[in-house]
Amino acid sequence: MHNFDFVRPSTLAEATAAMQAEGAQALGGGQTLMPVMKQRLAAPDTLVSLAGIAEMIGVCEKDGALVIGGATTHAQVASDAASMYPALAALAGMIGDPAVRSRGTVGGSLANNDPAACYPAGALGSGATITTNTREISSDNFSTGMFDTALEEGEIITSVAFPIPEKASYQKFEQPASRFALVGVYVAKFADGVRVAVTGASEGGVFRWSAAEAALSGNFSAEAIEGLSPEASGMITDLHGSGAYRAHLIGILTKRAVAAAH
């Protein structure tokens, strides 16, 4: 690992100022960034830690949405959101292991946008709004590809508002070594329709499965999507599974999510 400066601001204003420096990189829990730096795939000049910014930590319900601070750990979401948004709390509780959940953060996960991460599916499936130090971004416009987002240079995720649905469930088929999703499906039923978000499967990253959404919005039951599966083209093929296998898993996990949401 190369030499770098470390800054630990105590306020968002201080963090925003620190991020203006050339070569500055925001640091959430470091669960992705640290291994990447050790492999010399990233070499920031300055790490700006967000862990000590109190205004970016916490979970609360506001105007029908669960609002989570960007520096809130997965472990805190799993415990504090359980009574307000059980499906999202369950998602947080499935991430990695206790060590990862105690350090990894919501903002860090979304900003990294790993194609097999859980939170991108939870955000997109919920129709979340990502708030940064400069603006608000709809989850429908946030992911722009594998490991790529709409975030601009120096932008920090300060909080995320997840609208609370009538029913929801997240089902994940884990890659056992990494505990990332080989495929993960988040289903959320709202008064005006159903959202289905898929992670771990597509070469383009997290996506909404529109055919399943249309079927489930008319009939929210596993039977409504019987025999339905997305096209295998564009799905990830690697040593863990083919694109066709992942496409098949999407259908299976979506049915499981619908059944669990009931």
Question: How would you write the pLDDT of the chain (262 residues) with one tens digit per residue?
Answer: 678 999 999 999 999 999 999 999 899 988 878 888 888 888 889 999 999 999 999 999 999 999 999 999 999 999 999 999 999 999 999 999 999 999 999 999 999 999 999 999 999 999 999 999 999 999 999 999 999 999 999 999 999 999 999 999 999 999 888 889 999 999 999 999 999 999 999 999 999 999 999 999 999 999 999 989 999 999 999 999 999 999 999 999 999 999 999 9
List the one residue out of 188, 197, 175, 253 whose CA is nearest residue 220: 188
- Which of the listed residues 147, 163, 179 is the one where a domain comes to its end? 163
What SS3 class is residue 50? Answer: coil
User: pTM score, two decimals?
Assistant: 0.95
Copy the structure tokens of residue 106: 């919501």
CATH number at residue 181: 3.30.390.50
Indicate the burial class of 216 (C-beta count within 10 angstroms; 0-12, 13-18, 19 or more). Answer: buried
- Which of the listed residues 128, 163, 198 is the one where a domain comes to its end? 163
Q: How many domains does the chain have?
A: 3
217: containing domain: 167-260
Task: Check whether residue 21 and residue 108 sit in a common domain.
Answer: no
